[in-house]
Structure 1
Amino acid sequence: MSRPMFEVIALTPQDARAAESGGADRLELVTDMAADGLTPDVRDFAAIRAAVDLPLRVMLRIRDGFTPGDLDELLRRAAALRAEGAEEFVFGFLAADGSVDLDATRTLAEAVAGCHWTFHRAVDHSADRSEVRAAVADLPGLDTFLTSGAAAGVDAGREVLAGELAKAGEPGYRQRILVGGGLRAEHVPDLRAAGFDAFHIGGAARAGGWTGAVDPAKVAHWRELIGG
């Protein structure tokens, strides 16, 4: 059995080194968690990239919520990050009615063509997640959905997650499910037994939540729970 994938949110080089030493496989890079994670500065990306050897998925979002905001600015930031060496990203946008903003999402996917990317938890806040999955399924580079199955988190979304895992390989369900959002340690055994093999944490990796830095001991504990 292959090693389950374990992703940790990092805001700083210190976070990144701690997550790497604790056993993370990949980092999601963001800034401003008060806005649920926005695009980091290019200099911050460069500093984290220099600090660790892990793959880095960089958030492309410039405003709180799930609408894209200034698409030209998003494209500019994506281009600057790519020029600095970014190879993986996280994004995905909804319209005001909760449907996928396919034009914005496709435009950004085409702008980072050749890169792998995650459609983030906007899917959990959509009006119809199956429609979102179908609409974006064939966009270039999309290989992952970060999801808890429901806007309220894993507690509320476990049945949805199980249903989507059961459809793995079908159109719209070929991407990997990265479980995150309200994920707690006690969820992991049942999720692993059900066949989930990718997990994402943020505040759970920190002493004191978002007010503290990533704690390598907490990351190591999650690594042991997840396996590998």
Structure 2
Amino acid sequence: MSALLEVLALHPADAQRAEEGGADRVQLVGSLTDAGMSPEPALVERVRDATTIQVRVLLRLRDGFGTDGGEVTRLRGLAASYVDAGADGIVMGFLNGHGDIDAEVLTAILSEGEWPWTCHRAIDHALDTDRSWRTLQTLPRLDQVLTAGSARDLEHGLDDLIARARADAATAALIQAGGDLRPEHVPWLVRAGVRSFHITSAARPLGSWKAYVDAGLVQAWRTLIDAETRHRPTTR
């Protein structure tokens, strides 16, 4: 089974370089504030024109993972605008006042359109992770969950994420490992059945956000992930 490599992009040049390096997809954000905010639809259109690989766009307008009824209308409109501009899917994740996945808000946003989506790292901040995973798996068109297994990063959440993937093949198929992913994490995740990976600053020289995505760094990740996927069986 082949693996998916996604790179965080801020502009068309990032997307072009990600494609040159062998990425399958970019996740487009408008700014890096609080782990990323929504871009303008015009930026989505420019990125779509710059690359042939998949583009998923972050849908997030405020710090944290909360929202409210008034903002949901705007979020629905933005999602539609992104798809009209050429996005292949949406990245989003919201928690309610009880710290659980906000199925009501997500269902409202999903009610119009047929696009696939990734749940953003809201799952890592939920109070009851098991319950939130069960909730997510009832929602339509979800095909990935971007998670570090921890509210901090993969270094702290790796063991829990591996255990979750090994316990259930359907969950492993949804996991997109991200959150300061390091090369040494990849073999363990692949063994557990994870086949989707998300990189951010690791795709940039010296990890600097002032630098563009570097095609050579993306290629190194592509080579590593493909090699591990070919040679390491899933263990449960």
Question: TM-score normalized by structure 2?
Answer: 0.89
Give the distance between the partners of 2:192 and 2:138, measured in 1 at CA. Answer: 26
Give the distance between the partners of 1:26 and 1:87, measured in 2 at CA. Answer: 10
Q: Which runs of 5+ in 2 are unaligned?
A: 228-236
Q: How does 1:51-130 map to 2 (within 5 A)?
A: 51-69=50-68, 70-112=71-113, 114-130=114-130
Conservation of the 8 A alpha-carbon contact between 1:152 and 1:182:
no
Deviations 1:32-67 (A, max 9, x none): 112311111111100110111101111111112111
Give the number of aligned pairs. Answer: 224
Give the distance between the partners of 2:55 and 2:91, measured in 1 at CA. Answer: 10
Give the distance between the partners of 1:51 and 1:117, measured in 2 at CA. Answer: 21
**Counterpart in 1 of 2:8?**
9
Aligned alpha-carbon RMSD (Å): 1.6
**Counterpart in 2 of 1:134?**
134
Give the distance between the partners of 1:80 and 1:193, measured in 2 at CA. Answer: 39
Identity %: 37
1:201 maps to amino acid: I
**Counterpart in 1 of 2:156?**
156
Give the distance between the partners of 2:188 and 2:132, measured in 1 at CA. Answer: 27
Give the distance between the partners of 2:51 and 2:168, measured in 1 at CA. Answer: 32
Q: CA deviation at 1:174?
A: 7.2
Secondary structure, counterpart of 1:211 in structure 2 = coil
Secondary structure, counterpart of 1:57 in structure 2 = strand
Conservation of the 8 A alpha-carbon contact between 1:142 and 1:175:
no
1:36 maps to amino acid: A
Give the distance between the partners of 2:191 and 2:130, measured in 1 at CA. Answer: 24
Give the distance between the partners of 2:83 and 2:209, measured in 1 at CA. Answer: 28
Q: CA deviation at 1:13?
A: 0.6
Q: Which runs of 5+ in 1 are unaligned?
A: none
1:31 maps to amino acid: G
